[in-house]
């Protein structure tokens, strides 16, 4: 159970309800997930994080699905149970197939392995990998 009291959709202050409404509109959804109901306990945090999410997760040079899969990759590496669930669900909703999901987790697993081989052997970065700026 969350360590603060959740604010329920429909029982919020005007400023918090405005974010709830914006979230539902943006997602074409009729419910608000626990992440936002918990963050609503601190309206300043809620508004700041929602503003960041809108800026960062909007499709740009990377499409929305790729961004969700990167979110899953980070959340799996950090072992954030909530985030693994929410962003896997979001990636599936945006079109991630079971084959894509299996490949995503395979890359995440392998990267975590080779990260430790590179660290463990203390491998020097090749000069060829360093970008040249003039």
Q: Which of residues 2-21 bind a second copy (CB under 8 A)?
A: 2-5
Kindly identify the residues of this chain, within the stretch 79-118, that bind a second copy according to CB under 8 A.
79-89, 97-118
Q: List the structure tokens of 102.
A: 């299996």
Q: Does 26 bind a second copy (CB under 8 A)?
A: no
Pick between residue 20 and residue 71 the one whose CB is nearest to a second copy. Answer: 71
CA separation for the pair 24, 30 (Å, rounded): 6
Q: Does 120 bind a second copy (CB under 8 A)?
A: yes
Contacts of 58 (CB under 8 A, 6+ apart): 64
Closest CA to 38 of 86, 75, 76, 102: 86
Q: Does 131 bind a second copy (CB under 8 A)?
A: yes
Pick between residue 22 and residue 60 the one whose CB is nearest to a second copy. Answer: 60
Q: List the structure tokens of 123.
A: 């491998």
């Amino acid at each position: 159970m969350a360590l603060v009291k959740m604010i329920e959709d429909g029982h919020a202050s005007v400023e918090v309800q405005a974010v709830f409404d914006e979230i539902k509109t943006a997602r074409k959804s009729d419910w608000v997930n626990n992440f936002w109901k918990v963050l609503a306990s601190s309206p300043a945090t809620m508004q700041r994080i929602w503003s960041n999410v809108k800026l960062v997760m909007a499709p740009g040079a990377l499409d929305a699905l790729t961004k969700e899969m990167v979110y899953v990759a980070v959340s799996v590496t950090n072992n954030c149970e909530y985030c693994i669930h929410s962003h896997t669900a979001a990636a599936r909703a945006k079109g991630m197939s079971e084959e894509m999901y299996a490949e995503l987790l395979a890359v995440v697993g392998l990267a975590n392995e080779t990260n430790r081989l590179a660290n463990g052997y203390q491998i020097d970065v090749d000069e060829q990998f360093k970008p040249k700026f003039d």
